[in-house]
Structure formats: C-alpha cells, structure tokens
Chains A and B, each alone.
Chain A
C-alpha cells in the first residue's frame, strides 16, 4: 500500500501532508504528556520491532506470502496515539532507508497507514469489545478491527489515487479493496495470534504501562475523527456520489458491456467476490465489502473461541 512518488498530484500531496501533520502532531503531543521518561525507549524499540516484524513472511496459498502491517497490534498493545507515532516512524525510516514509498507521498502514506489504520482500527476494536463482553469479544474485536483497518486504509489509498486523476476510481477502488479484503484476513489472524502469544507469556505487558485510550476530554478522538471525516469527504465521497448515476447509465445502455468490460481484466483474479447483475464494479465491490465484513465478523467470532481457550485467563480491560 506504499504509494510511490509520481502518482499523486499537488493538491493531494498538500492536503494529505497537512492532515498527517495534524494527526501526527496530536499523537506526539498526547504521547509527550502521558509518557513516562522510561517509556521513550519503548516507543523507539517498538518501532524497530514493527519494522522487523514486517520483514517476516507468512506463507499464503500458491507460493505467495504476506506479512504483518501492525497498526492494530500496536494500538491494542500500547494505545492509539503510540500506534500513530510508531507507524509514522516506521514509514519515515522505510522511505529514507529503503526508498519504500515516495518522499512527497510520505504524507499520504502516513495518513492512510499510520493515522487512518490506527484510529479506525482502534475505534472499531473498542466498539466491538464493548458490544461482545469477555475475552471472546476481545479477540473478535481484534480480528475484525485489523481487517477493517487494512480495508479502509486501502480505500483511502484508492481515493487519493483517483482524486489525483491518474487512476480511475472504477479501476482503483475495486482492485485495492478486493485485494485488501484478502490481505486483511491475514492481518486479523496474525494480529490475534501474536496478541494471544503475548498474553500467554507476559500478560502484565497488556494491563499495565498503557499509554492508552483517548483522554478524558476526548480531544484526540475529535481531531482524529475530524481529519478522517474531511479525508473521507475529499478523497472518497466525490466518487461515491457518482454511483447511482453510473448505475442508471449502465442500465440505460442495456447491459454493462461498455463500462465493465474495460475493468473485467483487472478485477478478474477476485472475480468470485463480484455479485452478478450489478453494473458498476465500484458498486459491486462495496456490496461485496459489506457482505465480506459480515463474513469476517462471524469468522472472527468463531476463531476467537479457539484463541480464548489457549490464552491466559486474565483479560486486560
């Protein structure tokens, strides 16, 4: 999901840079006020840890492999503001050490992966773990949140590419969302397995030392929520509003050949995700995404049972 240089235009670069500066500034400020001096090395080491964990590959079907992304893992282990700071540091080092992700696209990458990924992931984690009580709900929340954070970050990424006018939304959104719906399943599983293993060996790491939560006045919550909403309005909503229009047009054209044929090649590897009879690939993808979310949630609930029986008795709250 690292966007290289050359794909974003000036307005996207500037707006994402401003958003990520505001989001990162908020996170750093929050961390500065709550962190104990002895936790500063912990943040640095956690960033190095995520960098190394991303290098370890997990085998997936047919010789391909995936790896951990880690924003929800850190958000659960250390809290959302620490996750934003850690993921931003990882992205900065990847950019300047590996040239992985463009230097002008750094703002967009930080916005998608560090801020949206951590904030959306952590919010969903908190909501779901409140709805389903107990440690089973806790693990369900982790898996589902990791899936959502991966998918939503990829939608923002597609929106930025489309807003820059390089890639069409109808091509970028289905491909990015479909691929990341699969990647997200892996991310959810790895995150839950790692947290279960941490819980087993050092459960104390999870209930003490938290740089956790949004503070009492919910200032971070408002700022993260605001930039997420503005980002959504800017990068994603202009395209969403075109959907009914596109659907009408294709219906009027008696069939979907003219529009869908161009993209069928692109989205063919994940063709079974598409619902038959729906014209616009973007609309089909969002429907598939909603159904996918329900399926992942049920799967997460089922898997959480296995994880609970294996992990420690104690649940951090």
Chain B
C-alpha cells in the first residue's frame, strides 16, 4: 500500500517536529496574519519571515527537494490569480507584492503541514471546541483516504490492463464508472467500519 506519499515527512524526528503542536499552529497563524496585514513597506518583517522559514526548513530534516517540489506544485495557483493583477494599470507593483505575500504564507503552511502529523492537528482542534462530529468525520476521512486512493489505483490498473482504447469518450465513461464504483465501495466499507466500531465499544 502506497499510503504515505502525502505526508510522509510529518512523522520524522527533528527539533521542529518536537515543538508542541499548539505552539507551531499559533506561530504559523500569527506569521500568516502578519504577512497579510502588514504593507510590503515593512520589508524587515518579510525578510525576517522568509529567514525563519529557511532556517526552520533546514532544521526540520525534510528533504529540501521535496519542499521545493511541493512549493512549485502549489505556486501555479498563486501565479494564476496574480496574472490577473498584472494586466491592470499599475499592476506590476501589486503583482510583486501579492506574489511575495502568498508565497510566504504558502511556505509557512507547507512547513506546518509537513512537520505536524494530521492526528495531532486534530487533537489540537478538539481542544479548540471544534464540534466533535466534525473532528470524528475528519479523523475517519484522513484514516481512509489512503485506503481509497489505493482502491482507486487498483481499479484503474485492472481497467487499464483489460482495455486498449485510448479515445477520450471511452476514458470519460470508464472513469465515471470507476468513480461510481468507488462511491459504492465507500458506502459498503462505511457499513463494515460502523460494525467494527460498535464491536470495539464506540458510542
């Protein structure tokens, strides 16, 4: 099962990983708010923010290439909206401003999510009086995400090894069936999970 490709590095050990979740989340939150509220003329803040991020990235022992790849994967979304800014009068200043701010926020969240296991984020949310039902749903979702990704891959592999057509309408049809089947299997799995939860005394 290829279950750990999303947050593989959130469970390794490093000084950053060992910081309490609440401290990390609050720090990231304050840093993001600062980057959004402060005008770009507070250059020292943005330099400091960037510097802290780079130091944290090095201390965290996460492969740098992985972080850069993730950043490049998300950056097109930032640039996509920023391009709209570029075409309006006086847009270049705003463009640079927005790209710097978004990239800093994005990197902050990337580092947070890759140095904090999701389950710890959830237990932190629980302390914040987030409704229990939401935390339960998120926990179940996270747990079975990898199972379903695996299942979807298996079905897709089976399908590909049996069909040779590559025309688009065929792909659309088979992919729709795959998604429908995935939904059906998810509901069936949900029933089994419920029985298993009951058997273990869940209330």
Task: List which A221-269 residues lie within 8 A (CB) of chain B.
Answer: 262-263, 265-266
Known A-B contacts A5-B105, A6-B101, A190-B172; the reply to A44 vs B139 at CB < 8 A is yes
Q: In the complex the two chains form, is B84's CB within 8 Å of A93's CB?
A: no
Query: In the docked arrangement, what's the CA distance between A5 and B78, Å?
Result: 9
Query: In the docked arrangement, what's the CA distance between A79 and B100, Å?
Result: 41
Q: Chain B residue with minimal CB distance to A37?
A: B194
Q: B88: which A residues are within 8 A, CB to CB? A: 167-168, 171, 262
Q: In the complex the two chains form, is A197's CB within 8 Å of B29's CB?
A: no
Interface flags, A162-206, vs B, CB<8A=1, else 0: 000011100110010000000000000110011111101110010
A10 interface hit (Cβ, 8 Å): yes
Interface flags, B75-118, vs A, CB<8A=1, else 0: 00110010111011100001000100110111001101100001
Q: Chain A residue with minimal CB distance to B177?
A: A197
Q: In the complex the two chains form, is A201's CB within 8 Å of B182's CB?
A: no
A48 interface hit (Cβ, 8 Å): yes
Query: In the docked arrangement, what's the CA distance between A93 and B35, Å?
Result: 23
Known A-B contacts A194-B183, A202-B184; the reply to A32 vs B139 at CB < 8 A is no
Q: A43: which B residues are within 8 A, CB to CB? A: 137, 140
Give the B-binding residues of A (Cβ under 8 A): 2-10, 13, 28, 31-32, 37-49, 51-53, 55-56, 58-59, 68, 77, 85, 88-90, 92-93, 95-100, 102-104, 161, 166-168, 171-172, 175, 189-190, 193-198, 200-202, 205, 262-263, 265-266
Q: B156: which A residues are within 8 A, CB to CB? A: 56
Q: In the complex the two chains form, is A198's CB within 8 Å of B98's CB?
A: no
B56 interface hit (Cβ, 8 Å): no
B190 interface hit (Cβ, 8 Å): yes
Q: A266: which B residues are within 8 A, CB to CB? A: 83-84, 87
Q: In the complex the two chains form, is A55's CB within 8 Å of B184's CB?
A: no
12 example contacts (A-B, Cβ-Cβ < 8 A) are as follows: A44-B140, A44-B141, A49-B182, A53-B182, A85-B134, A89-B137, A96-B118, A99-B74, A103-B29, A167-B88, A201-B180, A201-B181
Q: In the complex the two chains form, is B85's CB within 8 Å of A47's CB?
A: no
Query: In the docked arrangement, what's the CA distance between A92 and B152, Å?
Result: 22
Choose from A41, A55, A102 the contact partner of B194 (Cβ within 8 Å).
Answer: A41
Q: In the complex the two chains form, is B145's CB within 8 Å of A42's CB?
A: no
Query: In the docked arrangement, what's the CA distance between A171 and B83, Å?
Result: 10
Q: B33: which A residues are within 8 A, CB to CB? A: 104
Known A-B contacts A10-B37, A56-B175, A190-B176; the reply to A48 vs B134 at CB < 8 A is no
Query: In the docked arrangement, what's the CA distance between A260 and B13, Å?
Result: 55
Task: List which B129-145 residues lie within 8 A (CB) of chain A.
Answer: 131, 133-134, 136-145
**Contacts A44-B144, A97-B6 given; 18 further ones with Cβ under 8 A?**
A5-B35, A5-B36, A6-B101, A41-B194, A44-B140, A45-B141, A46-B186, A48-B140, A48-B141, A48-B145, A49-B148, A51-B148, A56-B152, A102-B109, A166-B98, A171-B84, A194-B180, A202-B187
